[in-house]
Amino acid sequence: MPTVSDFTFNITTTRFDEDYSPSEISRATTNFANLARGEQRQQNLRRALTMMNQRFNDLAHWDNAARDRYAVELDIVSVELRFTADGAERTFPLFEVLDANILDHRSGKRHHGIVGNNFSSYLRDYDFSVLLPKIKAAAADAGIPADYGVLHGKLFQSFLDSAAYQERFAQSPVICISVSTSKTYQRTGNHHPILGVEYDNDDLSLTDEYFGKMGLQVRYFMPPGAAAPLAFYFRGDLLNDYTNLQLAGTIATMETFQKIYRPEIYNANSAAGDIYRPSLEHDDYSIPQVNYDRVERSQLGIKQGQYTDVHFVQPYGEIFERWANGTAEPVAPVLV
């Protein structure tokens, strides 16, 4: 069995704008990478960024009568795992998130937004596209093993606790994605001026539980003017740890991606009611003028899960799993 010694995290960033092109290590299934392919790539990117800015200015409407005061600026944050195996230096692309800044055209100042927003992970592709089908095929009624997602979650938490993260980012991340199509959500009486009305769900989805193993809790909010609630995953206090401008930046960014990726839910022509179960079979919706290949995205997710299986799980997975379960000596995270 190969041995693995101390591992570290390395961060690189890429500006996400109308000139963006995916890097070789970027996951091809990310919302932003999918938009940046094909003959209409620049038009896609320009329209998506315009949608984000319009949505942000709608949310941050105070002292902003013309709805053009702010612009959202995004950087793709790529996280690489570096470790030594059998005396050789190894690397593996681990996570990708988005880091937002808010440009105030009136003052010329930039306000740092929230890091996180979108979340992409090769190892999560493996867990959901390769491992989970095997688990279900082997024992359809056995349920999900308790250690499902533990390694991914421990690596994510080690990254957040590392100097690599903490020296660059002052706050914990917030990840914002679609609510689950397999669950039903109930509107509550709680309302936030930017996040909107809160929804509740007594039955956590598999994704909710998976993010829970990453040390993140979940709340669901439908922002003002939105068609459906979003799921927000966070550490700490979502409503009090971040400013209204920061929250507006995350909503504007991720609601735009969801309108493009899941228009049946997030670009529906009617808003979610008091009791809401999202569905991709809903047919009363508008299609944004942005090309997005959802079928290709699903196929690439499987391919990237298989890539992770070959290049990370098979050669090193057992050793990293032992570290994650607290039973191994070879791997100790060096938080630098």
pLDDT confidence tier of residue 334, bands split at 50, 70 and 90: very low
Closest CA to 8 of 87, 88, 92, 86: 92
Q: Between residues 332 and 232, which one has the greater pLDDT? A: 232
pLDDT for res 16: 92
12: β partners? 78
pLDDT confidence tier of residue 330, bands split at 50, 70 and 90: very low
User: Does the pLDDT of residue 64 top 60, yes or no?
Assistant: yes
Report the alpha-carbon distance of residue 272 to residue 249 in Å, rounded.
22
Structure confidence by residue, pLDDT tens digits, 209-220: 999 999 999 999
Q: Which helix (H) or strand (E) holds 167?
A: none
What percent of the chain clears pLDDT 90, i.e. is strictly above it?
75
User: Does the pLDDT of residue 103 top 60, yes or no?
Assistant: yes
pLDDT confidence tier of residue 27, bands split at 50, 70 and 90: very low
Report the alpha-carbon distance of residue 213 to residue 150 in Å, rounded.
6
142: which DSSP letter?
A: S
Task: For residues 248-264, give the mean pLDDT.
Answer: 96
pLDDT for res 26: 52
Report the alpha-carbon distance of residue 188 to residue 193 in Å, rounded.
15
User: Does the pLDDT of residue 142 top 80, yes or no?
Assistant: no
Report the alpha-carbon distance of residue 324 to residue 332 in Å, rounded.
10
pLDDT confidence tier of residue 50, bands split at 50, 70 and 90: very high
- Encode burial over 249-273: b for 16+ CB neighbours within 10 A, e otherwise: bbbbbbbbbbbbbbbbbbbbeeebe
Give the angle 265-269-270 at the CA atoms, nearest 5°: 85
pLDDT for res 290: 87
> What is the value of pTM for the model shown?
0.93
DSSP secondary structure string, 186-216?
EEEEEEETTTEEEEE-SS--HHHHHHHTTT-
Q: How high is the mean pLDDT of the chain?
A: 90
pLDDT for res 21: 77
Task: For residues 91-107, give the mean pLDDT.
Answer: 96
Task: For residues 21-40, give the mean pLDDT.
Answer: 62
Which amino acid is present at 172? S
pLDDT for res 152: 97
Structure confidence by residue, pLDDT tens digits, 286-320: 999 887 776 666 777 888 899 999 999 999 999 99
User: Does the pLDDT of residue 28 top 90, yes or no?
Assistant: no
Task: For residues 111-116, give the mean pLDDT.
Answer: 97
Cβ atoms of 274 and 229 within 8 Å: the answer is no
